């Protein structure tokens, strides 16, 4: 793993202990407190024992350290190359991240290293300054729990003004688009950011409990999968941005439960059909009926 919050906790905890010891001797109580704060509760035992037994030779018996300067954990070349690759992603500007990476660092990968064959080509315009400005405003409003006044262009090309409470943003790898999930509007709860023409913070009070909420439109789909021709990996990739669970039934059979928004149902249907006989829908009956209806229309060359 390039970065890991789990495997790096010991390094971070010991680093904080040494920072304290550089300025003044640390007690075992301080060592325990720092271990609990920056690592796991059970980390107290291995860290304390290693220090007591001088296994690391970093903290002396009197609580001082032979180090003269506070320790630093520099990034490895692999980490720098990975960060350089992330910094080149078109979407990274949306989050106003500042990567201080030397110019001579080569990226670990670039967009040219991947050929994406199943993504729609009408994704959001991440280079647009207006889009970036709206994205950051929406992200700030979600964090601060502030209502928004937005102007959305509907499928008929007409602009509709809505006041909503932003709940969260989600990204569709398949569509290459961001969607805003909201509450408080009686006409829309899932809005494509690419359709938003104007956006501003709502002035005044707003009753978020009024109107529809995206949380009431979640549906569940159960699939049985035969892992042939790398089907399991392909299914997990196709449904990567949906909440899901997978259980192994036997050697190469799996049961997947997928949770999705009602507005995504047509897309879900098309994706399931694309796997042919390797995937079978077992629930709900309504979705099974939709598949039968769709296949019936295909047989009659109606779609």
Query: Distance between CA 87 and CA 91 in Å, rounded?
Result: 9
Label residues 7-44 b or e (16+ Cβ within 10 Å = b).
Answer: eeebeebbbbbbbbbeeeebeeebbeebbeebbeeebb
Question: How many angstroms separate the Cα of 136 from the Cα of each of 93, 97, 99, 108?
Answer: 10, 11, 18, 27
- Please say whether the structural domain 129-210 has been given the CATH code 2.30.30: yes
In this prediction, residue 187 carries a pLDDT of 64
Among candidate residues 185, 107, 199, the one with its CA nearest the CA of residue 152:
199
Spans of all domains in the chain: 1-73, 77-113, 129-210, 216-299
| 61-65 LR contacts (CB < 8 Å, sep 24+) | 62/25, 63/21, 63/25, 63/26, 63/27, 64/21, 64/25, 65/18, 65/21, 65/22
Write the pLDDT tens digit of every residue in 198-241. 999 998 887 654 444 444 478 899 999 888 888 888 888 888 77
In this prediction, residue 2 carries a pLDDT of 62
Determine phi and psi for 244, rounding to 5 degrees. -160, 160
Query: Distance between CA 76 and CA 108 in Å, rounded?
Result: 12
In this prediction, residue 240 carries a pLDDT of 77
Q: List residues bridging with 281 in a β-sheet.
A: 223
Q: CB-based contacts of 186: which residues, under 8 Å, 6+ apart? A: 210, 211, 212
Q: What band does 134 get if pLDDT is binned at 50, 70 and 90?
A: very high
Return the C-alpha torsion angle 285, 289, 295, 301, nearest 10: -170
Sign of CA dihedral 89, 93, 99, 102: positive
Q: Which two tokens stand for residue 290?
A: 């939709």
Write the pLDDT tens digit of every residue in 155-187. 888 999 999 999 989 888 778 899 998 887 666
Label residues 141-158 b or e (16+ Cβ within 10 Å = b).
Answer: bbeeeebbebebeeeeee
Q: What CATH superfamily is the domain 216-299?
A: ACT domain (3.30.70.260)
């Amino acid at each position: 793993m390039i970065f890991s919050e789990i495997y790096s906790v010991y390094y971070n905890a010991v680093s904080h202990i040494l920072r304290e010891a550089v300025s003044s001797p640390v007690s075992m109580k301080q060592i325990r407190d720092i271990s609990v704060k920056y690592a796991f509760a059970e980390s107290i035992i291995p860290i304390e024992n290693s220090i007591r037994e001088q296994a690391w030779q970093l903290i002396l018996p009197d609580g001082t350290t032979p180090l003269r300067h506070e320790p630093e954990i520099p990034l490895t070349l692999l980490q720098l190359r990975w960060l350089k690759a992330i910094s080149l992603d078109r979407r990274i500007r949306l989050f106003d991240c500042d990567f201080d990476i030397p110019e001579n660092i080569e990226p670990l990968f670039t967009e040219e290293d991947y050929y994406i064959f199943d993504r729609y080509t009408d994704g959001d315009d991440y280079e647009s300054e207006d889009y970036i400005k709206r994205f950051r405003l929406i992200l700030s409003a979600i964090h601060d729990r502030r209502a928004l006044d937005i102007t959305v262009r509907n499928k008929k090309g007409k602009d509709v003004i809505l006041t909503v409470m932003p709940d969260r943003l989600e990204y569709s790898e398949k569509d290459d688009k961001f969607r805003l999930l909201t509450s408080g509007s009686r006409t829309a709860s899932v809005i494509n950011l690419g359709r938003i023409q104007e956006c501003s913070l709502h002035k005044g009070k707003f009753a978020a409990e009024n109107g529809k909420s995206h949380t009431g439109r979640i549906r569940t789909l159960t699939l049985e999968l035969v892992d042939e021709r790398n089907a399991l990996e392909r299914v997990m990739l196709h449904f990567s941005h949906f909440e899901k669970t997978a259980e192994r039934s036997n050697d190469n059979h799996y049961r997947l439960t997928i949770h999705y928004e009602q507005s995504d149902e047509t897309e879900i249907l098309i994706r399931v059909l694309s796997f042919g006989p390797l995937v079978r829908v077992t629930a709900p009956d309504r979705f099974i009926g939709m598949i039968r209806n769709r296949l019936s229309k295909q047989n009659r060359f109606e779609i």
